[in-house]
Amino acid sequence: MELDFYFFMTNAAVGCTPLHWAAIRGNLEACTVLVQAGKKDDLMVKDKTGLTPAQLAADKNHRQVAFFLDNARRVHDSGCNGNPTFAKLSKVGLAPLLWCIAVVLLATYIHSVIAGQYNMSMTPAFGLFAWSGVFVATAGLVMFYKCSRKDPGYISANTRDSHNQRDDEPLLKMELDNPALLTGNWSQLCITCKIVRPVRSKHCSTCDRCVEQFDHHCPWVSNCVGKKNKWEFFMFITLEVIAMIITGSAAIIRTVSDPASPASFGDWLGYSVVYHTGAVSFFMMDLFIFFGVACLTGVQAYQIARNITTNEMANSMRYTYLRGPAGRFRNPFDHGVRKNCSDFLVNGYNEDVERLEHASRTDEEIGMIQMTSAVSQNGEGHSHHGNCDDHACADSHANSNSHTQGGSSQCCDHSKKNERTPFGLGLGLGRNSASRQYIRNLLPL
């Protein structure tokens, strides 16, 4: 495969590029390779009928391909290649803003809730409870810093002969016999890094690196979430949820326990807004952030329990390794909730080890085995009856030769019937075939 093939293989008669043909055929993996190897203009090229690759895919009812091509065009449109300043800001992300929000909220909480004006009724138990929120929030910020600065699991790009390598050189002059490519998993091919990346990994367009067990790129931590920092990310959001529950509860207790507050709810609400402005403001901000972080924590916990990533959930019908023989969703890395959670919490990540499945049998195979078992039992019954006939033949042989011959022919006929495969069970099951030997090993014949 060479990149020159993509740029020069254009059908002059119909004006179709290879991306047009891949969209017409609905080949999502081919579209992925061509989009990564090409430019934005390739997504906007029209054929003789005036249709782009995305429009052709939609016209042929290839919805996944159409969605992928349309999304790739939007990514290119929203890219920041033409604005270096904005590109640098996108690399920084929203981590500094999140730090400022966390520091302001903690300062407001300490000033207005813990060290507020009306603290005469504060008990030691309430003080310990209120300060525990600060400690938990601080621990969460430590995890946030580690997640933001830690390597998420970057995969080294192919740097062999990089100083002599040109963009128009063959992309896969190495690793053409890679097992992933031989099995047709072209989605593991990264055009940018020029590697065949491991399964479950993905190239991050923001970091411009392939990440092992890529979950998502989080702008709030200014880093990807992958195999090596997902534990820190999960601990960060979990600790922050616990801290928000504690601090929000402490803010409510502070306003309710004020001895000068009115008895009625309406008057108490107005009184709290006027005399506990800091505590009320903190509680509103805490409540607003809590719902988003709590939902994210729940989703992450569910995915950890199933050993699946956010990227895999979003592309479950796109990745071939997540589809079973019948085309339905199947997660080969799900080893059960207990093992998935224990491996993640103890090791910090889950290994890419596929679940060992027992020899699965289709409904037709199970029915065939049951029918063969029933016939074999009947055959054993006939076999005993044949033995009786054999004894009868032996006794009759002592009396008359003619009777012996009749009994022998009867025994011979019965033995032939017993070796014959029952009707309906011999399709594809030759006498010495592997399938027949497999079934005979399973049955007490």
Dihedral (Cα; 263, 267, 269, 274), 10-degree rounding = -120
Pairing of strands 209-211, 202-204: antiparallel
**Neighbouring C-alpha atoms within 13 Å toward the C-beta of 439:** 25
320 closest CA partner among 60, 28, 70: 28
Burial of 271 (0-12, 13-18, 19+ CB in 10 A): middle
Pairing of strands 195-196, 202-204: unpaired
Written as one string, the DSSP assignment of 364-409 is: HHHHHHHHHHHHHHHHHHHHHHHHHHHHHHHHHHHH-HHHHHHHHH
Give the burial string for 375-395 (b: 16+ CB within 10 Å, else e): bbeebeeeeeebeebbeebee
Give the 3-state secondary structure of residue 334: coil
Q: Establish whether 147 is a catalytic residue.
A: no
Alpha helices in 169-264 (DSSP H): 179-182, 230-256
Q: Tell me if 331 sits within 8 A of 307, measured CB to CB.
A: yes
Give the burial string for 233-246 (b: 16+ CB within 10 Å, else e): bbbbbbbbbbbbeb
* Set 218, 224, 295, 388: catalytic member: 218
| Whole-angstrom distance, CA of residue 161 vs CA of residue 143 | 39
Other C-beta atoms within 10 Å of 102: how many? 18
| Whole-angstrom distance, CA of residue 230 vs CA of residue 196 | 23
Q: Tell me if 368 sits within 8 A of 438, measured CB to CB.
A: no
What residues does 224 pair with on adjacent strands? 217
Q: Please identify every residue annotated as catalytic.
A: 218
